[in-house]
Amino acid sequence: MSRQHVHLSKDKETAVKVGSRRGIPQILKIKSGEMFKDGFTFYLSENNVWLTDEVPGKYIEF
């Protein structure tokens, strides 16, 4: 994979739309608020996509 950041959607509808571009989307809920409180950095790209360097497993809800 050539991505340098994890791309996050602001809501489920957007995630489904973006994920459907490459087949059946697999949507994971990220505890981004907890990540932010724990010191992780988030960036807002020019096209309004949230980015972060990594998402450790403890912040992923299946």
Contacts of 62 (CB under 8 A, 6+ apart): 28
pLDDT value at residue 1: 55
* Per-residue pLDDT, 49: 86
28: phi > 0 → left, psi -120 to 50 → alpha, else beta; which?
beta
Identify the band that residue 3 occupies on the pLDDT scale cut at 50, 70 and 90.
Answer: low
Domain range list for the chain: 6-61
Residues 8-61 have pLDDT tens digits of 999 999 889 888 988 999 999 999 999 999 999 999 988 888 999 999 999 999
- Global confidence as pTM: 0.81
CB 52, CB 6: distance < 8 Å:
yes
